[in-house]
Amino acid sequence: MSQRRTSGSSQAFVSREGWYSLRHPIEWTVEEDETCVELCDPDQGVGALHISAYHTPAPVDPRVELLGDLSDYTPPPKADDVVVNLEGAKRIASFESVRNGSFQKTWYISDKSYLVMVTYDCAEENKHKELEKVENIVRSIELEPRISRN
């Protein structure tokens, strides 16, 4: 069961643990289980967005974490292949790739206490159809949000 609040053309979602919140288009659905949240547009969508979050005992570098998790790629990406943005205390590392006809973009978002891992997957030929909406969702992620599930 997800927690949503509607405002205009988007809805707010707060993770079960309350570690992060995000805004997504009203027409998108959210499915949440114990380990992951999945968002997609069930009618017009071409891909799915998956989110996992972890409480970290100390701040982590999202670029280092992302590169470590991508080490099984052939060839493995270099540090310069990962884009890093800073938004206040929030650090965002991202990487995109096309393999076997599939497009994937991954974001690792961290602050002093949390690491949120986000992955979007779709067919390569559809990658531009909803990527702007997906990137807006990712940009809306707030760690330790000021809103609650209640």
Write down all domains in the chain, each with its CATH number in brackets.
3-143 (3.40.1000.10)
45 exposure class (CB count in 10 Å sphere: 0-12, 13-18, 19+):
buried
Neighbours of 39 (CB within 10 A): 25
Q: How far apart are CA 13 and CA 98, in angstroms?
A: 29
0.75 surpassed by pTM: yes
CB 29 within 8 A of CB 40: yes
Report the Cα 108 to chain-centroid distance in Å: 7
- pLDDT tens for the chain, 150 residues long, are 344 444 568 999 999 999 999 999 999 999 999 899 999 999 999 999 999 999 999 999 999 999 999 998 888 888 899 999 998 889 999 999 999 999 999 999 999 899 999 999 999 999 999 999 999 999 999 998 776 655
